[in-house]
């Protein structure tokens, strides 16, 4: 193949993916191609530039000085190309292409599917890769554009837009409560068996009084701990213990009498919900429109609320 027939943008895109994913094989997975194709594109780019860009051994990969310069320029070119492509193809600001989103399991498979479906119906040129996990997002390694994140721990190096807050309440089954003294005070809560959502609490429960702001903390020894909100809800419904959960996940259970809220005047500090994305000079329409969607729908979801205090 002559050099004049090589797609230079594709070569630069591949090179950027190799560097940011950490290996040729990871780049191949992210680009849905083979490692041989990625290796061939790297060689084509090195031939085109007449320079060695990467030094590779069995266990390591290192940029040469020329490779570092190429990487910085390629990133800039790719950002400019993305902006041009988005603007030309989409003069009216309609989102096109693929948006890769990481969302928490509970939100991602439940409350957000309906607004996401409406979003995709509204914009036929857009596709979404909807990846569910509860770990901190790795934008480069996982090749994602943005992430929905529940909780206060946010990487300060990324853009964090707070969308809403998740109220948290203490609940238990009527059958469990019938076996213990009436719950009239914090001390009575501490005497119950507990189920813990290990992402946010394990050995201690902290509650604030809604009116006075008084703070109370007490230790618990959970009969079961899980990082899954759904598993915790199911275990509480089975009567193993009381638990502190996001209010939205038990709305139906409370309304239909399967669960009872304990000491309604006492609630855990609400959890912030953020949309996270890495800083860039240009954000494509698909990301901008998705942010608008999340700002609009997140506070309106069942059991959620608007941000009540100034947040980051």
Domains of the chain: 8-88 (1.10.10.10), 91-165+272-306 (3.40.190.10), 166-270 (3.40.190.290)
Spatial neighbors of 187 by CB under 8 A, at least 6 apart, are 218
- pTM beyond 0.75: the answer is no
Q: Say if residues 97 and 127 touch (Cβ distance below 8 Å).
A: yes
Q: Are 274 and 163 in contact (CB under 8 A)?
A: yes
Q: Determine the Cα–Cα distance for residues 157 and 143; give it in Å rounded to an integer.
A: 17
Within 90-208, residue ranges assigned H as helices are: 105-108, 113-122, 174-178, 186-190
Q: CA 294 to CA 99: how far, in whole Å?
A: 14
> How many other C-beta atoms lie within 10 A of the C-beta of residue 253?
18
pLDDT, residue 4, reads 45
Mean pLDDT per 10-residue run, the chain (312 residues)? Answer: 63 87 86 89 89 81 88 81 66 76 85 91 91 83 88 86 92 96 93 93 91 92 92 96 93 95 92 89 84 90 68 39
- For residue 286, the surrounding DSSP H or E stretch is helix 285-297
Sign of CA dihedral 213, 219, 222, 226: positive
- Longest pairwise C-alpha distance within the chain: 83
Q: Which helix (H) or strand (E) holds 273?
A: strand 266-277
**Residue owning tokens 């939100």:** 107
Q: Is 302 exposed, middle or buried (0-12, 13-18, 19+ CB in 10 A)?
A: exposed
Closest CA to 169 of 104, 241, 237, 266: 266
Give the pLDDT confidence score for residue 102 in this predicted structure.
93
Q: Which phi and psi angles does 99 have, rounded to 5°?
A: -105, 125
Distances (CA, A) of 150 to 165, 214, 248, 273, 303: 9, 24, 13, 5, 14
φ, ψ for residue 106 (rounded to 5)?
-65, -55
């Amino acid at each position: 193949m002559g050099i004049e027939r090589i797609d230079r943008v594709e070569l630069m895109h591949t090179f950027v993916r190799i560097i940011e994913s950490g290996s040729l094989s990871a780049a191949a997975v992210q680009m849905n191609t083979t490692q041989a194709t990625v290796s061939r594109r790297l060689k084509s780019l090195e031939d085109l530039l007449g320079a060695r860009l990467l030094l590779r051994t069995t266990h390591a990969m290192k940029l040469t000085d020329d490779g570092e310069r190429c990487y910085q320029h390629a990133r800039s070119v790719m950002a400019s190309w993305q902006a041009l492509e988005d603007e030309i193809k989409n003069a009216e600001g309609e989102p096109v292409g693929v948006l890769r989103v990481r969302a928490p399991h509970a939100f991602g498979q439940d409350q957000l599917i309906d607004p996401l479906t409406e979003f995709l119906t509204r914009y036929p040129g857009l596709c979404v890769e909807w990846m569910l996990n509860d770990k901190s997002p790795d934008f480069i390694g996982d090749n994602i554009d943005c992430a929905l994140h529940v909780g206060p721990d946010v990487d300060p190096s990324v853009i964090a837009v707070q969308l809403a807050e998740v109220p948290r309440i203490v609940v238990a089954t009527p059958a469990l409560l019938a076996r213990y003294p009436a719950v009239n005070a914090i001390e009575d809560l501490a005497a119950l068996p507990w189920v813990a959502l290990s992402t946010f609490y394990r050995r201690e429960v902290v509650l604030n009084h809604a009116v006075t702001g008084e703070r109370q903390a007490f230790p618990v020894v959970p009969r079961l701990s899980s990082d899954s909100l759904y598993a915790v809800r199911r275990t509480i419904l089975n009567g193993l213990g009381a638990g502190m959960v996001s209010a939205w996940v038990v709305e139906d259970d409370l309304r239909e009498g399967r669960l009872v809220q304990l000491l309604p005047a006492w609630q855990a500090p609400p959890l912030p919900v953020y949309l996270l994305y890495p800083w860039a000079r240009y954000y494509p329409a698909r990301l901008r429109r998705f942010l608008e969607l999340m700002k609009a729908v997140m506070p309106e979801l069942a059991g959620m609320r608007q941000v009540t205090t100034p947040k980051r």
